[in-house]
Homo-oligomer: A and B are copies of this chain.
Amino acid sequence: MPTPHYGQPRYRTIADELRRRIESGEIAPGTLLPTERALTAEFQASRGTIRKAIAALQSEDLVVTEHGRGTCAIQQRHESVADGKADRGKRQIPADSDLAAIFAIDVGAILIEEQRITRARGTVQEVTRVYRIPLAAQ
């Protein structure tokens, strides 16, 4: 097969299909996707194309890939948990030296930290923290 990518490129249709499986729960959050090798077999595409599809999902924060391990589906953000308890919080913290360097601000300057805890069947799966500069300071 040369390169017949009329309409939509192949890596995109593959990404769409994988996204569907994740969002439908066919690939449960927290579980590994099939290996790249398995995906090349299933979609009859080269490994490079499979990796491009997965890269698209990564940029959507739908999956996380770890070197020798595999690619893992991430718990969805706007999914209301069964217990309904929103494990979210927002607070202000002073920047430590690490964050200060990244943001190019002074150590001790105030940052906004938003925290989100995702659970599955009661156990904590992930803790996500997003830091940013207060709007007032910009």
Contact = CB atoms under 8 A, between A and B. Distances in A.
Contact of A129 (B66, B125, B129): B129
Contacts of A131: 126-129
B99 A127 contact: yes
A1 interface: no
Contacts of A135: 69
Contacts of A127: 99, 102-103, 130-132
Contacts of A3: none
Contacts of A137: none
Given A114-B64, A129-B129, A135-B69, A124 B101 contact: no
Interface stretch (A16-24, A37-45, A79-87): A79-87
Contacts of A79: 104
A103 B104 CA distance: 31
Nearest to A69: B135
B132 A104 contact: no
- Most chain B CB within 10 A, of A59, A83, A125, A128, is at A128
Contact of A128 (B69, B85, B101, B129): B129
9 contacts: A64-B114, A80-B104, A99-B127, A102-B117, A103-B124, A125-B132, A126-B131, A127-B131, A128-B129
